[in-house]
Amino acid sequence: MLEIKFYGRGGQGAVLASQILARAFFKLGMYPQCFSIFGGERRGAPVESFLRVDEKRIRLRCGIKNPHHLILMSPDLITPEVLSAVRKGGMILVNAETLPETVKGVGECDIALIDAQGIADRVGLGRALNTAVLGSYCRVHGGIPLHFLEEAIKEIIPSRIDENIEAARIAYQEVSIYRRSKGNGA
C-alpha cells in the first residue's frame, strides 16, 4: 500500500489534487482511498489531504501519519516535523523555484522539485497549481501514464480544462528529480 500526503494552502487545490490522483489510480485498476483534514477550509489556511492506494480493498479508516510520498504545495509550510514524518526510502515533491535548504537536508528520501506556481502563472491558472503538481508527480511516480491523469482532470476539474492539462504536461517535462534513496518506500 502506498500512502501519500498533500500539504498546501487553501486555494491551491490540495483537496482536489488528491481526488484527481485517486481517480487516475482508479482508472489504472487500483483501489484508491482519499480524504482531507477539515476544520479550517478557507483561502490561505493550511490544508492537508491524503491518498492511499493498493491493489486490493483498503479497510483502514484512520489518518496517515508517515506517508511514503509527501507533496509540499506551499514551501513556506515546511517544518522539521512535516519532513521527518516521511518514511525512509520515500519521496518529497516540493513546489518551489529553488530547492529549500530544509528539504535538501532530509536523508534517505528521493527529492523532486517543480516550479508549479511558475507553470500555473504561465498558463493563466493563478493560485490553482494542483494540476501542475500532479503532472510532475506522475513523472516521479513512474507508474501513471500522463493520459490517465489528463482523463481524471477532464472528469473532475470544473473549468479551464485545457489550461490544467497544459500545466500537467509542462510539469511532467520540467520536474527535477534527485534519486537518493535505495527504495521507493512503497
Binding site for another protein (CB under 8 A): 19, 22-23, 26, 31-36, 38-39, 58-63, 65
CA pair distance 115, 110, nearest whole angstrom: 17
- Min. distance of Cβ 134 from another protein in angstroms? 16
Closer to another protein at the Cβ: 2 or 22?
Answer: 22
Closer to another protein at the Cβ: 97 or 155?
Answer: 155
- Min. distance of Cβ 46 from another protein in angstroms? 16
- Min. distance of Cβ 130 from another protein in angstroms? 16
Q: Which long-range contacts (CB under 8 A, 24 or more apart) does 60-69 make?
A: 60/33, 63/37, 64/3, 64/4, 64/5, 66/3, 67/3, 67/4, 67/5, 68/2, 68/3, 68/4, 68/184, 68/185, 68/186, 69/2, 69/3, 69/4, 69/5, 69/93, 69/137, 69/141, 69/185, 69/186
- Min. distance of Cβ 63 from another protein in angstroms? 5
Closer to another protein at the Cβ: 64 or 77?
Answer: 64
- Min. distance of Cβ 66 from another protein in angstroms? 10
Closer to another protein at the Cβ: 65 or 182?
Answer: 65
Cell readout for 11 is 486555494
Closer to another protein at the Cβ: 37 or 99?
Answer: 37
- Min. distance of Cβ 23 from another protein in angstroms? 6
Pairing relationship of beta strands 2-9 and 46-54 according to DSSP bridges: antiparallel
Q: How many CB atoms lie within 10 A of CB 113?
A: 23
Q: Is the dihedral of CA 120, 144, 59, 63 positive or negative?
A: negative
Q: Is 94 within 8 Å of 78 (Cβ atoms)?
A: yes
Closer to another protein at the Cβ: 36 or 181?
Answer: 36
